[in-house]
Amino acid sequence: MRKLKLTAALLAVLLTSLISTSCRQWGWQNSSDEATDTLPTLKADESINRATKFYAGISKEGVSMSPADEQAWNKYSKEIKGLLDISAKTRAQCDSLVKKDFSDFRDSIDLVFYPFSGADFLYPITIFPNADTYVLCGLEKAGSPFGANIKTDYAQYDSYRKALVSFLNRSYFITKDMKNDLDNDQLDGVCPVLTMLMATDGYEIISIENMKVDNNGNLVKADGNGNVMQYKFFKQGTKHEQTLYYFSNDVNNDRMDPNFRKYMLNTLPKHKVATYLKAASYLMHMPGFTDIRDYIAKYSQYVVEDDSGVPYKYLANDFDITLYGMYKRPLMVFTDKCIQPDLDSIYKATAASVKPLPFRIGYNNPSNWLCARRKKGK
């Protein structure tokens, strides 16, 4: 009996081995772990990441400092960590919600489109962590990466802290503050802040390149200072190379760069797009921003936004809508034209099915969120 059991066990092992070999031979192996193992190891840019982690208050490794400089950096690092702890709590709640509620599309979209983004890296990467490409757009200059010559200047630290404080506290950048916070003697645009946020969330930067859009709507390397910055990056411990583009561009109908318009019309239809909108100043409620609004409604498979994004009425026919949180009148700094009576009505009419939103996202607190999934055939 014992010999029969041993023989059966050996046959089972042999059969499993043969099946496994055949699966690999004929391409039937479907293990994501095995697929990941075959990918090349990604290499971070040591100089960029050392400087970025230093200015983000994460690490002072490899930086020579006097005792006074070190004391100043330690104070700055503690301040940044305190701000990050506030943001991390909100983003953990956000991650928990989208894991459960967006499981049907969270990991299948390949491009995240985020107009009116400013330097916000954290929320699109929290909501859609596995996309290949992120396209961000804002009025702020693209800026330039930190240089290899690291400065130990508390005035500089204070400038970086000011650039981050409102975002990490409230989840959004205040537009009027960004004009000063991201364009001064210490900061020349979005790039330094965006890379600091990458570092704080455990991402390594492979490269940063200045780009531009040519007359055909294609991205090409810029000879001088282009208005597009390309970031190649990956999460520590993974082999998934991701790309983020930040476009410094006005999306007003009359002021939109024609080449950027071509880029969107060339690019968005080729991808499974999720558009993310937060604290967008209700601009797409205004006559001057109908083009960007219509591109989002036409080319997105999914839209995740607060009420400052695309007005509800432009999504209602072609998308299945899920509502979260509580709809309130926009902040008083915004015109009454930003109020959406139809959205208010649908919140009230479907109150029993409106889902809770346990975190602040965008202007109002309590906040609202809308998830739109494109209907089949639309």
Biggest alpha carbon distance in the chain? 86
CB atoms inside a 10 Å sphere around CB 223: 8
Residue-wise pLDDT for 132-174, tens only, equals: 999 999 998 898 888 878 878 777 787 788 777 777 777 666 6
Angle, CA 330 vertex, CA 325 and CA 334 arms, to 5°: 155
Is 307 among the domain residues? no
Element (H, E) at 373: strand 368-374
User: Sign of the C-alpha dihedral, residues 202, 208, 211, 216?
Assistant: negative
Judge whether 336 lies within some domain: no
The Cα–Cα gap between 299 and 127 comes to 19
Q: Would you list the DSSP string of 219-270?
A: EEE-SS--SEEEEEEEETT----EEEEEEE---STTTS-HHHHHHHHHHGGG
**302-359: per-residue pLDDT in tens?**
999 999 999 999 999 999 999 999 999 999 989 898 999 999 999 999 999 999 999 9
Residue 223 resides in a domain: yes
pTM: 0.87
Please work out, in degrees rounded to the nearest 5, the angle formed at the alpha carbon of residue 298 by the alpha carbons of 292 and 301.
Answer: 115
**Which helix (DSSP H) or strand (DSSP E) does residue 291 occupy?**
helix 290-299
- Measured CA to CA, the distance from residue 17 to residue 14 in angstroms comes to 5
Cα–Cα distances (Å) from 304 to 124, 218, 252, 308, in that order, read: 10, 27, 21, 11
Spatial separation of the C-alpha atoms in residues 156 and 147, rounded to whole Å:
14
pLDDT reported for residue 172: 67
In the predicted model, residues of the chain with pLDDT beneath 50 are 1-32, 34
Q: Are 357 and 368 in contact (CB under 8 A)?
A: yes
Q: Is the dihedral of CA 169, 279, 54, 205 positive or negative?
A: positive
CB within 8 Å of 344: residues ≥ 6 apart:
327
Indicate whether 11 belongs to any domain. no
Query: In terms of DSSP bridges, do strands 203-213 and 228-235 run parallel, antiparallel, or are they unpaired?
Result: antiparallel
Say what the pLDDT of residue 21 is: 39
Contact 57, 77 (CB under 8 A): yes
Q: List strands edge to edge, sheet with 111-115.
A: 219-221, 203-213, 228-235, 242-248, 133-138, 111-115, 273-277, 302-305, 368-374, 319-325
SS3 35: helix
pLDDT of residue 290: 98
Indicate whether 150 belongs to any domain: yes
Domain count, the chain: 1
Residue 345 lies in a domain: no
CB 169 within 8 A of CB 86: yes
**Secondary element (H or E) of residue 60:** none
- 65 C-beta neighbours (distance < 10 Å), count: 15
Domain that holds residue 179: 41-298+312-317
Give the pLDDT of residue 208: 96
So what's the pLDDT on residue 36?
58
Structure tokens at 59: 């690490």
